[in-house]
Chain A
Amino acid sequence: MQLTVNGTPREIDAPGDTPLLWVLRDDLGLTGTKYGCGLAQCGACSVLVDGQVMRSCVTPVEMLEGAEITTIEAIESDPVGARVVEKWVEHQVPQCGYCQSGQVVAATALLKEIPEPTEEDIRATMVNLCRCGTYNYIRAAMTDLAGREGETL
């Protein structure tokens, strides 16, 4: 089957029920998307499918024929994604960094949908887990991205 990943059509010969996560990581060598739980609990595997955030660890690849998939590797080619990365760096968000691919993708999806999200929008959609506890920094970066005055931590 064919997948469109980061703008490039890719021929995939993995079994159709393989989760997108493992096709990205093992077939395409795109290891920026992370495995954390395999149960759509943590969000480390988040990617964009047609601009919507999706947890790739529970998404069979056969459902995605014809869809446009964007992974963290291409996030800076998207103008919204590039802004998110810029603010992630400015606010020094990552610690271990393992969850941050998913956090950046989730933030990008939110801002593409709602350019100026409210605090409630952010609270409702930025739900990925971070064991290092970077949540205050994610919030500061998101407040900045939403165009509001906030604290630099």
Chain B
Amino acid sequence: MTGHPAALCAAELASGRPLNLSRRGFLRGALGAGAGTLILGVGLPAGPARAQAAAAAPGTNVPAFLEIRPDGTVRLLSPFVEGGQGIFTGMAQIVGEELDADPAVFTVENAPAGADYLVIGGQMRITGGSMSVRLSYPVMRRLGALARAMLIEAAAAELGVPARELSTEPGRVVHAASGRDLGYGALAGAAFDLAVPDPDSVTLKDPSAFRWIGREQPRLDVHDKSTGRAEYAIDIRVEGMLQAAVSHAPRLGLTVGTIRNREEVAALPGVAAVEVLDGAVAVLAERWWTAKRAVEALEVDWVPFDTLPEGWREMPADFSSADFAAALAASEADETEAEAEGDAPGVLAGAETVISATYHSQYLNHAQLEPPSAVARFNGDGTLDLWLPNQAPEQYQSTVAGLTGLDPAQVRIHSPMLGGFFGRHFLYPAASPYPQAIELARRAGRPVKMIWTREQEFLRDPLRPMAAVRFRGALDGDGLPLAIEAVSATEGPTEAINGRGDQVDPTALEGLTGKAYAIPTRRMAQAYVRNPAMLAYWRSVGNSMNDFFYECFLDEMAAAGGQDPFELRRHLLRDDARLSALLEAVADLSGGWKRGPYDAPDGTRRARGIGMASPFGSEAAAIAEVSIAAGRVVVHDVWEVLDPGQAVNPALVRQQVRGAAALGLSQVLMEESVWQDGAPVARNYDMYRILPPGDMPPVHVGILESGAQIGGVGEPPLPAVPPAVANAVAALTGQPVRRMPLSRMSFES
């Protein structure tokens, strides 16, 4: 696994503070009179005996996760937030398998913050790092098995037979000897009042007996999502709330000096208040549109902070991303080795052929379609309800507790469905509306909903880091690689967020490190350069750019040595059975490797490229076919094979491969957050271009279940795609591609 989101919560884990949520109290708070017209399905299953299990190991307190209704339908609170990846369906399959209940009868909701849900290693949970299934799989299976054991025990009492004489069929307990059976719905009341059995007392199913794990199971959320019924944070409405809009300072590091027309704007029809916040002005109104128009009318003189809030970076007035890229390439910062094998400087000094090149990546926005929002409501009993898009409920809970002086148990985090996330909704300083909503609700004495406009979002969205990587490669007399060296001038997202440690941030170099090719001498190092911009995790994190660098330079080494890039990979992976199989699989899927250039039947001249990556515990290989039309790169087809070891739901895996491929294509073809004069040039989708449907090629997907340890799915298909495209373009043009996005370059058709 990669450590990044885990590292993000290390500080919180270190506090070791158990969260002591009273479930009955939670239920009253969520559904009680104060909730008004609250239209959320939150709240936990009611019933006695909930408290007794409060000290149970995370992932074992069955009633905190499961409710079985009289009609036999199952409600599951998922420790992982649904944001498009299909985790609700995956969790229903995994829990349903051992519970012996059809995933189709499940409704799944996001769990609140609380110790019961820390199912990753019994210590934490976040939705990210492609961790959800791979790191909770045995725990969530065992949860289902524990629930099934409780239902059997209740049935034994009801039928007056020993539990060992009972078995289950989907949704019911069966006593074969007497031909009697009882539905789960009739048993659940009694069953979930029983003590949860010893977690070690249950036996998990043999995989050969699986009914649902490993099968294509329809998603549980597609009808709601096709009819507008799915509810996101931006849709939440609570009784009596005011709506808020904000204008941030043009650069982080500035705050409000004077507002020249405050009285005028405060007097506009429908405006409730004009408020000054850290680095921003806000307007409260009954209608959001009123607030937005009013806040944009404010004339503000921005001045530097006396003391910058913790974690914020000061953006210089003359910052330019182009100048910063040049500075990275020229950086003479100290090099810290992350991976070294053999004497790279010595081999490079003595080799017959040495090539070198400098590669660049760009800043990227997350650009999830749902703009950030937050709803904050202080309640009469001193508690705070907070609805916000988030990938880490407990981290937000403890941060909000620190911010407000409340006890964490008084802070209820509601995690609605995410309108895309891609790394956007971790806890980043200055990057989310929840502190503003909380402060405004406190001042107004009413609940407040804050929505950021797209323009405000693109001003404060923390960025995928950029890097400049200086490569050197040595070849032997046969043109085969002897040594590879990469020095990346960059800052990793984890060190940017948490501060620099004494080790290389693994999220800075992953994808340059950990490559499987049998190149005998290697040196991968970081030259740390601090960014003035705020940085973040972005789908597939370091791998999102580092596999592009490595795989493209590997093609340059192949070209310098007179090798075919596919054959070279085959040679370098010859002792790795898993990756050799993957390489053959992607070639087969594409109809056999051919590099080109060649003439396609439609008269276009095309070529293919290949890329491979080993991200987040899985293995991926992609081939792309391109041509050039009107000076632009056109991607005609992508073939990609993912080996996640084991697939819980192949249909979901294919969706994730296609979706991640789309994001990889978007990155390599057109995306870039360009900064000039200390500000992002693009503040909306008109200038920050993301892949439109017309540029999406068919993505042909293969899944290889090698049986290796289960790996991630959401992120791993992305990193192989950009180098596959870039290498295809290089094959077509004869010129290496050393920089993303390709829209920066002009091509001759």
Check if B84 is an interface residue, CB within 8 A of chain A: yes
Check if B738 is an interface residue, CB within 8 A of chain A: no
A146 to B452, CA, bound (A): 38
Q: Which of A48-107 contact B (CB under 8 A)?
A: 71-73, 75-76, 84-85, 88-89, 92-101, 104
CB within 8 A of B226: which of A30, A44, A94, A96? A94
Residues on the B chain within 8 Å of A94, using CB: 84, 219, 221-222, 225-226
Check if B575 is an interface residue, CB within 8 A of chain A: no
Most A-side CB within 10 Å, residue of B224, B225, B269: B225
A127 to B419, CA, bound (A): 19
A105: nearest chain-B partner, CB-CB: B228
On whether the beta carbons of A26 and B287 are closer than 8 Å, the reply is yes
Check if B686 is an interface residue, CB within 8 A of chain A: yes
Check if B655 is an interface residue, CB within 8 A of chain A: yes
On whether the beta carbons of B85 and A36 are closer than 8 Å, the reply is no
On whether the beta carbons of B289 and A18 are closer than 8 Å, the reply is yes
Residues on the B chain within 8 Å of A100, using CB: 225-226
Check if A115 is an interface residue, CB within 8 A of chain B: no
Check if B691 is an interface residue, CB within 8 A of chain A: yes
Check if A130 is an interface residue, CB within 8 A of chain B: yes
Q: Please, what's the 1-or-0 string for A1-36, where 1 marks a CB less than 8 Å from any CB in chain B?
A: 000000000000011001100100111011111111
Check if B658 is an interface residue, CB within 8 A of chain A: yes
- Do A136 and B698 contact each other (CB < 8 Å), given the known contacts A97-B417, A130-B693? yes
On whether the beta carbons of B289 and A153 are closer than 8 Å, the reply is no
Q: Please, what's the 1-or-0 string for B492-528, where 1 marks a CB less than 8 Å from any CB in chain A?
A: 0000000000000000000000000000000000000
- Do A129 and B287 contact each other (CB < 8 Å), given the known contacts A33-B228, A92-B651? no
CB within 8 A of B227: which of A27, A35, A76? A76
Residues on the B chain within 8 Å of A92, using CB: 218-219, 222, 651, 655
- Do A32 and B86 contact each other (CB < 8 Å), given the known contacts A97-B221, A132-B420? no
Residues on the B chain within 8 Å of A96, using CB: 83-84, 225, 368-370, 417-421
- Do A93 and B226 contact each other (CB < 8 Å), given the known contacts A22-B288, A127-B692? yes
CB within 8 A of A98: which of B232, B455, B666? B232
The total of chain B residues at the interface (CB under 8 A) is: 65
Residues on the B chain within 8 Å of A25, using CB: 235, 288
Residues on the A chain within 8 Å of B662, using CB: 130, 132-133, 135
On whether the beta carbons of B226 and A85 are closer than 8 Å, the reply is yes
CB distance from A131 to the nearest CB of B (A): 5
On whether the beta carbons of B453 and A38 are closer than 8 Å, the reply is yes
On whether the beta carbons of B655 and A95 are closer than 8 Å, the reply is yes
Most B-side CB within 10 Å, residue of A25, A72, A73, A136: A136
On whether the beta carbons of B658 and A136 are closer than 8 Å, the reply is yes
On whether the beta carbons of B228 and A18 are closer than 8 Å, the reply is no
CB within 8 A of A153: which of B234, B658, B685, B690? B658
Residues on the A chain within 8 Å of B227, using CB: 32, 72-73, 75-76, 85, 101, 104
Most A-side CB within 10 Å, residue of B222, B232, B234, B654: B222
CB distance from A151 to the nearest CB of B (A): 8
Residues on the A chain within 8 Å of B115, using CB: none
Residues on the A chain within 8 Å of B229, using CB: 32
A71 to B369, CA, bound (A): 19
On whether the beta carbons of B370 and A36 are closer than 8 Å, the reply is yes
On whether the beta carbons of A39 and B684 are closer than 8 Å, the reply is yes
- Do A133 and B85 contact each other (CB < 8 Å), given the known contacts A36-B454, A98-B232? no
A42: nearest chain-B partner, CB-CB: B685
Most A-side CB within 10 Å, residue of B229, B419, B662, B684: B419
A40 to B666, CA, bound (A): 20
Residues on the A chain within 8 Å of B290, using CB: 15
CB distance from A70 to the nearest CB of B (A): 12
Check if A118 is an interface residue, CB within 8 A of chain B: no
A85 to B229, CA, bound (A): 12
Check if B118 is an interface residue, CB within 8 A of chain A: no
* 10 A–B contacts, CB within 8 A, in A order: A14-B287, A19-B289, A36-B685, A38-B454, A85-B227, A89-B226, A97-B84, A129-B690, A133-B691, A135-B691
